[in-house]
């Protein structure tokens, strides 16, 4: 693609179309841009458009498209085509920093993100001058440019907060500090001076304070891994200014907005974070500064209002106190009873209250409320921070703190009892206090696993939680009912089973509640209870115990999906999946009705998939319905196909990328249930499964391979007779997969199924070419994973076609090749094979090579015979060799970059492990003994003499044991 006006014009037109709300216009435009993004200069055309276009909307659209293009394609993945040419990469890096710094803020943010994506891959080795170029821009004094640099540096360096320690990381951080720490400190001091100079200019202050916030964030990232020498030497400068900024109150920067945090709040929140980092990790060095920070932050807390805009600041300030109070060094600061009472009264209790803003979120923004409250993403909420502070204080002062709060809890509950409809928030705060007091340790799987001995959870449950759950009107006091459900969920591992069983029908009733939060919590609580394990590792609650409520449970769950706001509620769908899994055959009578509802839901969500978890659990529920029903009655598989195939056809024809891998998994499950030949409906689809475009997407590969394996298993003969022209296509897929280090094992799965299930004559003409492809790959890149798969394949081939056929095909490719494979691959590497079935295949195959291949007894291969036998005994007796050479890093599928739908394995579509040898050989050691006996009777005297001269004593002893177990002798 040339960089010319015509191409710029075309690109602009297509970008315009991608903004069209009509999918018939938008989708083709998106597809077109995707099809040309591999062309040289594509990225430069985008950058030129965002720089020169007169239309602001197009400029922003080009910036977003560019960033997403970089996100998908910048990382170079082995075996994957490199979509950005080297000249383009060089040109992008040469121009992007300047372009970013001179663009308006909206575009600057997109380009800054793109720089950090490129930086993550290329900085510092392939982009050594990036930092110098950025630091030089500090000198100009233009804060639009300086903030662009700071924003980019922040997105580049913030990964230091969660990277694992390594030498490479230290080297990179050292390089950054050498170049960046001094100029950053100078900029920090200069910016603070400018704030004083422009103390009355509100517009200047806004720019300067956003710079200070970014500088403070960079300080956090650069200090996270360890305390750098530079910052230790300059601690006085940084901490003095941080402390002054914490106590600063500039009226010009105060905002009237009650919701949105202002610049002053954002800066102070970040400084609280920085102080907490130093107090936690570098307490010795930070000790001289700590008391003044504790005082400043305490004053902040007692003078800051309850408005939402202060939430981040208050929660970070409380988190600072929480991190300080649980360090033994600072215990003395909190020992005084008056201090503890003051903290409880002035900081903890006020910040546990359910505010009107929380009530609004509960009613009008339930999804965000649930994510915050249930999934713990409420790190920035006052309640979570107050809860952490309670836990921190309990570490050293559990008795006094519990005593202080018990008084509060009792008075709150008394207030509530006086007038429940007015004072319900008092009870809400009391439940929250009890929960934070009682919780010591918790896990996602089990809820609270360690509780405060001083709190009687069971008694509180009976007196204050059960009454709310039992209340006949499920829609009254939804917040308190949600609290009660959450209490059951939180303390499920602490409450006795009888109490949990008592709550089950009550939770089922709460699924009917109008409040989204309430019925979501009820679904989530049931799902968590159903996963709990009893003493013998069976589920704590059995299907029999659920029998009285089964119908009500299924009805209420499916009806809840019809309540406004919950049509794609992932918690409800997960509870449906878990209910199916727990109830097993008890759901069979309801399936005819439920499958209709599930397929209808699938059709709806496939139009615009937006909730990945919901969709995943929906497919899991479909798999469970199929498995459970067909286990009892395999013939019913056809009724599922009738229900599902129309929707599947639509998904495949519309190419709903997120759903295609799921559809293939469910189809595999259905096809594997069939006992006879492949139904014609599947055969009609077969040619489409071989289309190269389907195999381009990483997420499709595992489910497609499994589906093709199911085709081969159920209808190898049908394919050979009625679709023989498709065999080259099938082998083409194998060839593509085998060339990729990430997917070569999938290629072997396919190849093994071809060898096992296709009639031998149908692939005779292709066999030699298959082996040549494998040898070419062995020569170009021999990885441990490939070797293991190759070993299993040649032994399966030997089991299927015989040892002579294996020896002949090797020697036909190149004379003496068979001996080379034994010597260079089988003997040294067989120990690496893992997996019971895989080891069995190798054992049976090698036994055949030893005892059914004349060339092993009468040619120059004979010298290898005892070594092969010794390797086989090693496979039986020695521990598995799981070492991997240092230079091999397997690419994790999750690691492949970009937008492509990653493959999500459906747990309930799982494939049973298949043993191609089956019952024909139950014990490979016995088979070896019997086969050696048979060989020795055919040529008496040879086998014992070969053993006595060449096998080591230990191996001989093991072999003796096999012969005794098989009751045979060698002659």
Phi-psi region of 898 (alpha: psi -120 to 50; beta: other; left: phi over 0): left
Under the banding of pLDDT at 50, 70 and 90, the label for residue 454 is low
The DSSP 8-state label assigned to residue 54 in this structure reads S
Of 545, 366, 344, 489, give the one whose Cα is nearest residue 429. Answer: 344
Which pLDDT value is given to residue 886?
A: 53
Mean pLDDT, residues 350-367 taken together: 92
Residue 355, φ and ψ in degrees, nearest 5: -85, 170
Of 379, 574, 369, 569, give the one whose Cα is nearest residue 486. Answer: 369
User: Is pLDDT at 477 greater than 90 in this prediction?
Assistant: yes
Which pLDDT value is given to residue 593?
A: 95
User: CB count, 10 Å around CB of 500?
Assistant: 19
Region of poorest pLDDT, from 80-84, 599-603, 697-701: 80-84
Under the banding of pLDDT at 50, 70 and 90, the label for residue 950 is confident
Q: Kindly give, in sequence order, each residue whose CB lies less than 8 Å from that of residue 579, ignoring residues fewer than 6 positions away.
A: 526, 530, 553, 554, 557, 587
Which tens digits make up the pLDDT trace of 774-818? 999 999 888 999 999 999 999 999 999 999 999 999 999 999 999
Mean pLDDT, residues 891-895 taken together: 31
Are the C-beta atoms of 671 and 682 separated by less than 8 Å? yes
User: Is pLDDT at 37 greater than 50 in this prediction?
Assistant: yes
Please report, for the chain, the start and end positions of each structural domain, with discontinuous segments joined by +: 1-122
- Angle of helix 263-281 relative to helix 290-303, nearest 10 degrees, comes to 140
Q: Which residue has the tokens 């069995």?
A: 840
The span from the CA of 49 to the CA of 479, in Å, is: 52
Terminal alpha carbon distance of the chain? 77
Q: How far is CA 318 from the centre of its chain?
A: 31
Are the C-beta atoms of 192 and 241 separated by less than 8 Å? yes
The CATH topology of domain 1-122 is 1.25.40
Of 275, 305, 310, 306, give the one whose Cα is nearest residue 292. Answer: 275
SS3 percent helix, strand, coil of the chain, rounded to 5, is: 75, 0, 20
Q: How far is CA 708 from the centre of its chain?
A: 27
Which tens digits make up the pLDDT trace of 633-670? 999 999 999 999 999 999 999 889 899 999 999 999 99
Taking CA atoms, 279 is separated from 161, 265, 271, 766, in Å, by 16, 21, 12, 69
The span from the CA of 305 to the CA of 461, in Å, is: 33
Considering the entire predicted model, what is its pTM? 0.84
Q: How far is CA 354 from the centre of its chain?
A: 33
- % residues pLDDT > 90 (the chain): 77
Q: How far is CA 647 from the centre of its chain?
A: 28
């Amino acid at each position: 693609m040339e960089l010319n006006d015509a191409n710029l014009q075309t690109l602009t037109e297509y970008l315009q179309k991608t903004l069209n709300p009509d999918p018939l216009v938008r989708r083709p435009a998106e597809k077109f841009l995707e099809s040309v993004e591999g062309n040289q200069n594509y990225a430069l055309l985008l950058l030129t458009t965002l720089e020169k276009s007169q239309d602001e909307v197009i400029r922003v659209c080009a910036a977003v498209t560019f960033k997403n293009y970089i996100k998908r394609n910048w990382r170079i993945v082995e075996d994957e085509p490199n979509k950005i040419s080297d000249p383009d990469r060089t040109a992008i890096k040469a121009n992007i920093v300047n372009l970013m710094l001179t663009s308006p803020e909206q575009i600057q943010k997109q380009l800054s993100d793109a720089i950090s994506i490129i930086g993550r891959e290329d900085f510092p080795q392939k982009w050594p001058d990036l930092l110098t170029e950025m630091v030089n821009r500090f000198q100009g004094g233009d804060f639009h440019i300086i903030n662009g640099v700071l924003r980019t540096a922040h997105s580049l360096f913030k990964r230091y907060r969660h990277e694992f320690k390594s030498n490479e990381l230290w080297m990179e951080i050292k390089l950054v500090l050498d170049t960046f720490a001094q100029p950053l400190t100078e900029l920090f001091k200069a910016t603070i001076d400018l704030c004083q100079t422009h103390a009355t200019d509100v517009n200047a202050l806004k720019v300067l304070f956003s710079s200070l916030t970014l500088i403070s964030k960079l300080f956090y990232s650069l200090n996270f891994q360890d305390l750098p020498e530079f910052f230790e030497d300059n601690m006085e400068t940084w901490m003095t200014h941080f402390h002054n900024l914490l106590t600063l109150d500039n009226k010009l920067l105060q905002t009237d907005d009650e919701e949105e945090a202002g610049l002053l709040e954002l800066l102070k929140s970040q400084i609280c974070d920085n102080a907490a980092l130093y107090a936690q990790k570098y307490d010795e060095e930070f000790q001289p500064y700590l008391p003044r920070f504790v005082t400043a932050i305490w004053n902040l807390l007692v003078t800051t209002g309850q408005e939402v805009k202060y939430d981040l600041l208050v929660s970070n300030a409380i988190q600072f106190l929480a991190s300080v109070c649980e360090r033994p060094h600072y215990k003395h600061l909190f020992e005084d009873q008056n201090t503890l009472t003051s903290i409880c009264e002035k900081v903890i209790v006020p910040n546990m209250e359910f505010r009107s803003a929380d009530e609004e979120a509960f009613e009008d923004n339930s999804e965000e409320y649930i994510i915050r409250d249930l999934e713990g993403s409420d790190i920035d909420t006052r309640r979570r921070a107050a809860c952490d502070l309670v836990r921190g204080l309990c570490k050293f002062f559990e008795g006094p703190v519990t005593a202080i709060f018990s008084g509060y809890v009792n008075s709150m509950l008394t207030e509530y009892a006086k007038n429940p409809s007015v004072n319900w928030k008092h009870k809400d705060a009391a439940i929250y206090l009890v929960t934070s007091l009682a919780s010591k340790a918790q896990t996602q799987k089990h809820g609270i696993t360690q509780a405060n001995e001083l709190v009687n959870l069971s008694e509180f449950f009976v007196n204050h939680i059960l009454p709310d759950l039992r209340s006949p009107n499920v829609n009254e006091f939804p917040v308190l009912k949600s609290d009660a459900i959450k209490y059951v969920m939180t303390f499920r591992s602490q409450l006795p089973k009888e109490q949990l069983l008592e709550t089950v029908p009550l939770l089922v009733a709460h699924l009917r509640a109008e409040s989204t939060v309430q019925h979501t919590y009820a679904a989530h609580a049931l799902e968590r209870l159903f996963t709990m394990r009893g003493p013998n590792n069976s589920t704590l609650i059995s299907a029999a115990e659920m029998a009285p409520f089964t119908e009500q449970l299924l009805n209420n769950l499916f009806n809840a999906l019809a309540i406004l706001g919950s049509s794609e509620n992932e918690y409800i769908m997960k509870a449906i999946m878990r209910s199916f899994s727990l109830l097993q055959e008890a759901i069979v009578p309801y399936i005819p009705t439920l499958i209709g509802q599930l397929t209808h839901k699938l059709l709806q969500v496939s139009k615009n998939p937006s909730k990945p978890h919901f969709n995943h659990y929906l497919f899991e529920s479909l798999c469970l319905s199929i498995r459970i029903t067909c286990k009892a009655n395999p013939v019913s598989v056809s009724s599922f196909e009738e229900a599902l195939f129309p929707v599947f056809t639509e998904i495949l024809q519309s190419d709903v990328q997120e759903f295609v891998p799921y559809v293939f998994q469910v189809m595999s499950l259905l096809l594997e249930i069939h006992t006879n030949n492949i139904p014609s409906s599947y055969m009609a689809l077969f040619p489409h499964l071989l289309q190269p475009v389907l195999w381009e997407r990483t997420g499709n590969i595992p489910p497609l391979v499994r589906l093709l394996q199911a085709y081969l298993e159920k209808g190898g003969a049908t394919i050979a007779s009625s679709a023989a022209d498709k065999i080259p296509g099938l082998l083409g897929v194998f060839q593509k997969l085998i060339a990729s280090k990430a997917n070569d094992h999938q290629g072997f799965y396919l190849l093994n199924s071809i060898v096992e299930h296709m009639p031998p004559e149908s692939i005779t003409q292709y066999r030699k070419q298959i082996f040549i492809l494998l040898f070419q790959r062995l020569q170009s890149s021999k990885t441990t994973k490939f070797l293991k798969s190759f070993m299993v394949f040649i032994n399966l081939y030997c089991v299927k076609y015989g040892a002579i056929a294996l020896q002949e095909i090797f020697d036909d490719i190149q004379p003496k090749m068979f001996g080379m494979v034994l010597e260079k691959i089988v003997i040294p590497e067989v120990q690496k094979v893992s997996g019971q079935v895989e080891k069995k295949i190798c054992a049976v195959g090698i036994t055949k090579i030893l005892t059914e291949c004349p060339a092993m007894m009468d040619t120059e291969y004979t010298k290898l015979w005892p070594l092969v036998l010794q390797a086989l005994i090693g496979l039986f007796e020695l521990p598995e060799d799981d070492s991997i050479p240092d230079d091999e890093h397997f690419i994790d599928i999750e690691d492949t970059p970009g937008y492509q739908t990653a493959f999500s394995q459906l747990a309930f579509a799982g494939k049973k492990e298949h043993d191609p040898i089956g019952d024909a050989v139950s014990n490979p050691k016995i088979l070896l003994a019997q086969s050696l006996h048979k060989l020795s009777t055919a040529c008496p005297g040879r086998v014992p003499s070969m053993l006595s001269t060449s096998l080591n004593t230990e191996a001989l002893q093991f072999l003796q044991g096999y012969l005794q177990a098989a009751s045979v002798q060698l002659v």
